[in-house]
Amino acid sequence: MGGADARIIRNTALVILALVALRLVAAAFTPITFDEAYYWMWSKNLAGGYYDHPPMVAYVIRAGTMIAGDTELGVRLVSILLALPMSYAIYRTAAILFGGARVAATSAILLNVTMMASVGTLIVTPDAPLLVASSFVLFFLAKVLETGRGVWWLAVGAAVGAALLSKYTAMFFGAAILIWLASVPKLRRWFLSPWPYRGGLVALALFSPVILWNADHHWVSFVKQLGRAKIEDFRPVYIAELIPTQIAFATPLVFILGAMGLHALTWRRAGALASRVLIETMFWTIVAYFVWHSLHARVEANWFAPVYPPFIVAAAAAANLAQWKPRARRLVDFCLRWAAPTGIVMFAALILQANTGWLSGYRRDATVRSVGVGWRELAAGIEAERARYGASCVLTPDYGTTGWLAFYLPRGSCVVQQNQRIRWVNMPEPDPNLLTGKLLYLDEIRPDGHPFLNELFAKVTRVGELQRKRGPLVVETYGIDLLEGAKGDVLDRSPPPELAP
């Protein structure tokens, strides 16, 4: 390794460490989102699967809270730190596929400055471990290509298995790998080798707890996730959201580089055939599914996490390898120079806005519903009401409110979602004695109220209203109802819609 390469590696490592440190600071003072609170509750009751997703996000959160406690930082700690091995994987992938420390360093830095990586590892969802696992799937496939050794297929299988434990989207890796092998003549020999199939068995073994959990629960998670987009629901309006949201999540300059990189790999023959086809298949196979999905239902921006590793490597190839005409070269150089500063500024602005609302003049924005600003104060008010009336438990109407209350109320408080009990099937059932006395019901104030409560309780009394606020902005106003005289089981145990007859 030459002196220049060593300097590039050192500087890249310092930049990535600084970006990870920035996320850790942001994680410590940014209230958790409702999804994070929900997954935090999963982490208290680890299982082989859950109603919404496979279990990896719960294990990531559990590991973090074992180190830093049940705090915002503890929930997010391991997810953020996983950006370090992710960065190594993407660095080595780019170095193997396209050669040189500069391409590799560009890949590692560009990935870390995307909102998908910076916010996606800070806000812990199943897409966070999926992004990391996807980086290693690509890395180990690059090792198969570099070494020609079959044993690396076992590592590929392990990475795919970890991705499957994160999110079901990872099933498309199998199709992408098959297309890659079939498209490159020198790789077709692997179809006659036992090693890829052994790798598949490794992936299946790692994923087997999810299969067993689903088998014990009427396959509900598979039905829920795999049935999201129905062919009969043709709604092409959603496809218009795909590109704008990905421009934001990739950050505009990285998106331009990635798009130019994919063009260069396809039409300018930048790099060896096997390397180019690997990047293209790992990107386009999953993108093709999401395009199809968007013709029938909404595709959330963070669902594209598994395509970001190949997309970023393509961006680095565009910046460092492809030959461009002068105008295009100036665009590439401009994007490369300003991609990292732009990404950092966008991240800082988002965190500032989510916590304070300053940038919108305290008006509503996309973060205000999902980030739990004001919930600590709201939970204190709810606890005061609970103590005043001697209520033994708080009932809620949705998983987000349940998670936020469980996180911000005193530890051990009884908080139960009244409906959708399938979400809590891995948790011990609440003590029946806690549901027979006085209860509180918390929900946003609704014009029609909650008439079903009168069917469940002899007496329903509105005892207070509380506001969740971000600065002077009222985010939500909650009504607190005192429930007395339960007429029977107060929990709605009807099956989820996926299993309804």
- Please give the pLDDT value at position 297: 79
- ∠ CA(175), CA(178), CA(181), 5° rounding? 150
436, HSE (Cβ side, Cα atoms, 13 Å): 3
- Please give the pLDDT value at position 3: 76
Cα–Cα distance, 53 to 424 (Å, whole number): 13
Buried b (16+ CB within 10 A) or exposed e, 109-120: bbbbbbbbbbbb
- Please give the pLDDT value at position 236: 75
- ∠ CA(251), CA(252), CA(257), 5° rounding? 100
- Please give the pLDDT value at position 10: 92
- Please give the pLDDT value at position 1: 57
- Please give the pLDDT value at position 287: 94
- ∠ CA(397), CA(399), CA(403), 5° rounding? 115
- Please give the pLDDT value at position 231: 54
Residue ranges in the chain whose pLDDT is less than 70:
1-2, 227-234, 268, 501
- Please give the pLDDT value at position 277: 96
- Please give the pLDDT value at position 238: 80
Amino acid symbol at 27:
A
- Please give the pLDDT value at position 498: 81
